Amino acid sequence: MTIGAPARLVLEDGTVFRGRRFGATRDGAGEVVFNTAMTGYQEILGDPSYSGQIVVMTYPMIGNYGIAPEDFESGRTYLSALVVKEVSRIASNWRHERTLDQYLAEHDVPGFCDLDTRALVRHLRDAGAQRGIIADATTPIEALVERARAIPSMAGLDLASRVTTQKSYTWQRSTLDLAGSEKKRDLKYHVVVYDFGVKRNILRSLVHFGARVTVVPGNTSAADVLAMKPDGVVFSNGPGDPEPLEYAIANARSLLGKTPVFGICLGHQILSLAAGAKTFKLKFGHHGANHPVMDLSTRKVEITSQNHGFAVDPASVPASRAEITHLNLNDQTVAGIRVKDAPAFSVQYHPEAAPGPRDAGYLFERFVGMMADFKAKNR
Q: Which residues carry out catalysis?
A: 265, 350, 352
d(CA 295, CA 323): 12
d(CA 321, CA 315): 13
Give how far Cα 129 sits from Cα of 146, 148, 215, 240, Å: 17, 12, 32, 13
d(CA 78, CA 163): 8
Lay out the sheet containing 334-339: strands in order across.
Answer: 169-171, 211-217, 189-195, 232-235, 261-264, 344-347, 334-339, 322-328, 279-295, 300-312
d(CA 105, CA 83): 14
Kindly report the length of the chain. Answer: 379
Specify whether the CB–CB gap between 349 and 265 falls below 8 A.
yes
Q: Is 281 exposed, middle or buried (0-12, 13-18, 19+ CB in 10 A)?
A: middle
d(CA 57, CA 37): 7
Which residues pair with residue 263 across a beta bridge? Answer: 235, 346
d(CA 61, CA 245): 37
d(CA 365, CA 228): 22
**Parallel, antiparallel, or unpaired for β 211-217 and 169-171?**
antiparallel
